[in-house]
Amino acid sequence: MKRILYSLLALILSVPMMAEDIDITLEQLPQKAQSIISKAFPDAKIKKTNIERRASLIQYEVKLAGGIKLQFRKDGSLTECECTKDPVPDVLIPSKIRAFIKKEYPESKIMRIEHDSKLYEIDLDDGIELSFNSSYRLIDIDRVEQK
């Protein structure tokens, strides 16, 4: 029993050590990610591109000039776009979400979008956070204090 516990403990402690971040070039990103960047940010300067490996998770992170941060899955699909100066480009926002925000929050700008298989999270420039399900239906509204 002790042997099993020690083996399990060693495994748990070694997982963080398997994490690594490696700088890569834009050309080393999956083609899908390269295409998204060229469509959404055709004139942006790439500041940093890296691959993050954490146990079984592989993702890519790209930082562009102008305070733009992008994250992609292993297959190159976008998981997050965060902008600090200009809003997230419309091409990255599902049309139903874009239409909802234009109707309900016409003066607001989308500064961050995050997406996983079940949820879209949208941050507006006025501190409102909206959550949509995978069918683009609004499921939550939060207001966060501005920094």
Query: Could you tell me the CATH number of the domain that includes residue 68?
Result: 3.10.450.360
Tell me the per-residue pLDDT of 114-145, one tens digit each, with 9 for 90 and over: 999 899 999 999 999 999 999 999 999 998 87
Collapsing DSSP states into helix, strand and coil, what is residue 24? coil
Residue 146 forms part of a structural domain: yes
Q: Which of 102, 100, 32 is nearest to 70 (CA)?
A: 32
Domain that holds residue 50: 18-84
Contacts within 8 Å (CB) and 24+ apart, 5-11? none
Clarify whether residues 55 and 109 are in a common domain.
no
pLDDT of residue 39: 97
Residue 45 forms part of a structural domain: yes
pTM of the model: 0.82
pLDDT-derived band of residue 8, with 50, 70 and 90 as boundaries? Answer: low
Residue 127 forms part of a structural domain: yes
For the chain, the domain total comes to 2
Mean pLDDT of the chain: 89
